[in-house]
Structure 1
Amino acid sequence: MCFIYSARPGPAHYGFSWVFGNSIYIQLHRDSPNSLAFITMAFSSLLKPTASLVRPSHRSQASCAGLHHSSNSVKLQSSVFGDAVTILQSSSLQKSGACSIQPIRATATELPPTVPRSQTGGKTRIGINGFGRIGRLVLRIATFRDDIDVVAVNDPFIDAKYMAYMLKYDSTHGVYSGSISVLDDSTLEINGKQIKVSSKRDPADIPWGDLGADYVVESSGVFTTIDKASAHKKGGAKKVVISAPSADAPMFVVGVNEKTYKTNMDVVSNASCTTNCLAPLAKVVHEEFGIIEGLMTTVHATTATQKTVDGPSMKDWRGGRGAGQNIIPSSTGAAKAVGKVLPELNGKLTGMAFRVPTPNVSVVDLTCRLDKSASYDDVKAAIKYASEGPLKGILGYTDEDVVSNDFVGDSRSSIFDAKAGIGLSKSFVKLVSWYDNEWGYSNRVLDLIEHMALVAATN
């Protein structure tokens, strides 16, 4: 077993590590204040037992002949592994072509990344209001996490039997792999765990406290303001997470600004699926090169609000046209919302959407003017470093010839497509990033809740 450490200049804050053969390569920046922490993280990852991996995941591999070029090395004996540790002090970074890293491949078999437990002595107990696309997937995903316990679901339009059916069978994500049974009109049993079912129209009437739910996922699409969502607190809920953009609730994107959450924020928004895709990408590009201004287009899969055939839509005439027959231009606030989670980009981004006749997976096109001169390869390298380091599990990277269906069931918020983008000049680039607008977003809803629980526990 061999460890190789390489100190190198820029980009500003990102480092990465990868496995090749029997060696672990750790690449950090010379001035990074987090170098020791990153090395510790890399060592710790080796100690995790492989038995803890429930399903296979694709590890990145590398071929880096350039690492042996003009480097001074010192061998140390490791008391942990009993093998030599080689420390390389590199004088300069090899050109991006010198190190070829296999990208993370999109897969529907990966479990969602587990965030630290809240350490409250048990799982974080949540309730779900609204059993639509997001509500059902939040429940599906939660049943495979060991840090979340769904105790109740409320939907005034769906009874227990129909809930069980809709959870089990999904035309996009397949048949649910766990066990589901209906015990009575108000109780489901999922994987041996009982979940209470209610059908209240008014959030204030849902007895969340009696049902044991501390956090509520507001996924009905109706109660999206602080005032309306706060009605859940009357029934005993402590915190509410709105699974949609909100006009006035604090907005969070995990991996971007969740650390600004404060315990006095009782109602928060998880933003939109598109903002969750765009914000991590914009964060990396802006921190490394500076974004002067940018335009975003999302090519977005069909959603439940669209019409199957032409129908009335008084506020949006084009939105009333048949979803399966048309490419429909539409508005979106996703790009402007990035300015709420990254204030330094406020007023610098805007965008629009094209709704297309596919059932799932969307893609963001960010075209932006950079403050610092950078080639497209420079931008790719910065995104790759971030995807393998501080934003791993949130931001992905691929240079394979992928299409939208390859990302169905991908739990990451944003997967950068290195081959799809292009650079016009040293300061003008088009960046492309994929996202499962259902599955990835639902994972982030739960990650945000667990982060809130962790903050509550530490305070």
Structure 2
Amino acid sequence: MKRIALNGLGRIGRLAVRQLGAQQLGMGQPEFICAVNDPAPLDQVIQLLRFDSVHGQSALPIGGHTENGQDFLLLGERRVPLFHALDPSLIPFPPETRLVVEASGRFTKRADAARHLKQGVSHVVISAPSPDADFTAIAPVNGAELDPERHRVISNASCTAHATAPMLQILDEAFGIEEAGMSTVHVVTNDQKLLDQPHKDRRRGRSAFQSIIPTTSSAFGALHRAMPALPPGFNGVALRVPTLSVNLVDLVATLRRDADLAGLRTAYEQAVCRRWKGLVALADPHTVSHDITGRRESVIMDLDLTMALSPRFVKVFGWHDNETGYAARLCDLVVDLAGRI
């Protein structure tokens, strides 16, 4: 397994370190994570990695120390250097680094993320949608098309894209999609403001915990890049709501073939046991968002909410933990790619 480094310890970066650190211990690969970069001081990095207000305390023991002016994280028993560079091209990742996870949220354009491609680094995975990455990956929708020889800067799309893609794919394979649209009921994010402040999106500038805030979603661009056969008009909105975890995707579609509630249920039930096993699950009856916190599937279908508004006009709903589910897909991509380069 090739060694990887990670730049940025925001919400997704920290969960990725937790998951990858736990994976490397379980897989007996102490050399997997080789370095981390984040501008925050060591003591704050340790605190934020160990404790999370949404997801609780890390199961992976986390500590750290400074030696001869160099900070180190302790991930379990593995000592990992922690750097604090602001410019990707100036991060002194170890020479054996082959893959960098770009999780800062700042370098989503290809040219910016590609600044990691120096010395032995051959690939970068961006933990966000990118307008011009070499490839946008949503496995298993298009994972087989990822070519490490040609695709050096890869986007892992978005949490909403990973949730919506299987909803669309399963529906299309069973009944065909003529047209479709989607709304996501989305938790607040750090891009919003606690109290009213100036913001380039005036709605996001309003107090995040006092309103339902309609805004755009980066998922649509990522979905069109990963699924070019989608109807050209596929679009929608994000409704930011005052909660901390778990989104709900509300997908509406006009189908090419007739469908009823029983047929829709069967399509998703079969997908859970076949191609989408582990990525798609079924919600328990009477589920609310809190029940989904911590789940790692891409989407948990709530079939009790499914509607057949007419024989060819349907509405389906899927929950997803926008952080743990997305971080799980990011780690899946990184582990798979690291094994191929």
Tell whether the structures are fold-level matches, with TM greater than 0.5.
yes
> Which structure has the larger Rg?
1
- Would you say the 8 A contact 1:208–1:237 is kept in 2? no
Letter aligned with residue 38 of structure 2: D
Establish whether residue 437 from structure 1 lines up as the match of residue 322 from structure 2. yes
Alpha carbon RMSD of aligned pairs, Å? 1.4
Stretches of 4+ moved more than 3 A in 1? Answer: none
Q: Distance in 2 between matches of 1:333 and 1:349?
A: 13
Task: Tell me the residue number matched to 1:30.
Answer: none
Paired amino acid for 1:297:
S
Structure 2 Cα separation of the partners of residues 319 and 304 of structure 1 = 10
Matches for 1:37-52 after TM superposition, within 5 Å: none
Quote the Cα distance in structure 1 between the aligned partners of 2:338 and 2:10.
25
Query: Which residue among 293, 302, 305 is the counterpart of 1:420?
Result: 305
Cα deviations by residue, 1:122-166 (Å, 9 ceiling, x for unpaired): x4422111111011000011122145722211012x122211111
**1:182 corresponds to which residue?**
64
TM superposition shift of 1:177: 2.1
Structure 1 residues 225 and 336, CA, compared in 2 at 3 Å: closer, same or farther?
closer
8 A Cα contact 1:207 1:235, kept in partner = no
- Residue deviations 1:387-406 (CA, integer Å, cap 9, x gap): 11111111112242111011
Contact 1:274/1:298 (8 A) holds in 2: yes
2: CA distance, partners of 1:138 / 1:230: 20
1:328-380 CA-partner distances (Å, limit 9, x unpaired): 00011313432221221151411111000000110100011001111122112
2: CA distance between counterparts of 1:257 and 1:398?
25
1:163 aligned residue: 45
Report matched runs for 1:200-211 at 5 Å.
200-210=85-95
- The structural deviation recorded for 1:420 is 1.6
Q: State the one-letter code of the partner of 1:134.
A: I
Letter in 1 for 2:37: N
Q: Is the 8 A contact 2:35 2:94 kept in 1?
A: no
Query: 1:131 is paired with a residue of what secondary structure?
Result: coil
Is the Cα contact below 8 Å between 1:152 and 1:195 reproduced in 2?
yes
**What secondary structure does 2:97 align onto?**
coil
Equivalent residue, structure 1, for 2:163: 277
* Alignment match, 1:98: none
Residue of structure 2 equivalent to 1:380: 265
Query: Do the aligned partners of 1:225 and 1:248 also contact (CA within 8 Å) in 2?
Result: yes
The answer as to 2:83 corresponding to 1:198 is: yes
Alignment check: 8 A CA contact 1:376 1:422 kept: yes
Residue among 131, 136, 150 paired with 2:14: 136
Q: Which residue of 2 aligns with 1:341?
A: 226
Aligned to 2:296: 411
Tell me by how many angstroms 1:385 deviates.
0.6
Identity, % of aligned positions: 38
Q: Does 1:152 align with 2:152?
A: no
Counterpart-to-counterpart distance in 1, 2:177 and 2:338: 34
The gaps in structure 1 that reach 5 residues or longer are 1-122
User: Residue 246 of structure 1 is aligned with which of 109, 123, 130?
Assistant: 130
Give 1:230 shift. Answer: 0.6
- Where does residue 389 of structure 1 map in the other structure? 274
Cα distance in 2 for residues equivalent to 1:449 and 1:281: 23
Measured in 2, the distance between the counterparts of 1:124 and 1:188 equals 20
Partner Cα separation in structure 2 for residue 336 and residue 283 of structure 1: 16
Bigger shift: residues 187-196 or 334-343: 334-343
* Aligned residue number for residue 55 of structure 2: 173
**For residues 274 and 369 of structure 1, do their structure 2 counterparts lie closer, same or farther at Cα, with a shift above 3 Å needed?**
same
Q: Distance in 1 between matches of 2:119 and 2:112?
A: 13
Give me the whole-angstrom Cα distance separating, in 1, the residues matched to 2:329 and 2:192. 24
CA distance in 1, matches of 2:266, 2:36: 44
| Distance in 2 of aligned mates of 1:438 and 1:127 | 20
> 2:113 maps to which residue?
229
Q: Is the 8 A contact 1:208 1:214 kept in 2?
A: no
SS in structure 2 at match of 1:143 = helix
Q: Which residue of 100, 109, 113 maps to 1:216?
A: 100
CA distance 1:440–1:376, shift in 2 (3 Å): same
Check conservation: 2:191, 2:204, Cα contact below 8 A: no
Matches within 5 A, 1:317-356: 317-356=202-241
Q: Distance in 2 between matches of 1:182 and 1:451?
A: 28
Task: Judge conservation of contact 1:329–1:353 (CA < 8 Å) in 2.
Answer: yes
**For the residues of structure 1 that align with 2:227 and 2:336, how far apart are their CA atoms?**
19
Q: Is this contact kept in 1: 2:178–2:231, CA < 8 A? A: no
Unmatched tracts of structure 2, length 5 or more: none
